[in-house]
Structure 1
Amino acid sequence: MNKIFEFLIYLVLVTGVAYGLHYFVLKINDQDHWWIGTDYSLASLYIFGSISSLIMILFLYGAEYAMPKQLGFVFLGAMLLKSVASYIFIHSGLDLLENNFIELNFLGVFFLYLFFDVYIAFRLLNTEGRHVEK
């Protein structure tokens, strides 16, 4: 259970730091006004990303306990489902603005949490003391 709290702390830290930097960059470059008139905001992108990564953490942790030999395949399946959910979330914002503002911000957030999920899966797959028979 210690690992799950460690991963949650990492998730909160990554979300806080990345959101702060992203917000600061948009504010400095005077690009934050593009959110007006859309159903999206920078906060909504980060909330969606953090909740989906939280679900991934819980799902992968449960899969490591239930079927550790299949954890890699479970990760790939869960990433497929997360990608589909992400497309459903951002679908109404695609091609909404001519400068692809929403798409580019969403991709940045999506890849941030994708790398985070890969790190979590890597940590779970490479746990010391885990002996998986080949």
Structure 2
Amino acid sequence: MRYLKYALLPIVGLLAACQSAPQQINNIQNAQNADARLTLGMIESQLHKGMSSASVVEIFGPPNIVTSDDNHQEVWIYDRISTMRAHSNSGGWTTILILGLNNSANTSTTSQRTLTLIVKFDGQKQVKDYSYRYSNF
């Protein structure tokens, strides 16, 4: 009976650790959804001067940085960086009598995109001006 608790302790610990996996998946999906809201198309079609700060948050989510300009007006900065990696592996195995030949080819590509949106507000918390920068390399 004494050994039973030592056997059950790792199992209970493992089950407790597994319970947090759905929460981790949910957090990742929420982060991906927030990133999906900030696209060039969304900026060009949804953002306009005179828009309230509440509407900006509704469309793009919370900003990464909140600061102020030289005139002490609020400035929001949205900054997104995404990296895409693709890897391809092809190969084959040929047998000649007892000897084997392995032919394989590996290719990989990496690309990165950055999107920075800077939104300047006036004293009434309405969009005064905005600019964005996009790069793909």
TM-score (norm 1): 0.29
TM-score normalised by structure 2 residue count:
0.29
> Where is the strand percentage greater, Structure 1 or Structure 2?
2
Of Structure 1 and Structure 2, the greater helix share is in 1
Structure with the larger RCO, 1 or 2 (CA within 8 Å, 6+ apart): 1
Larger of the two Rg values belongs to structure: 2
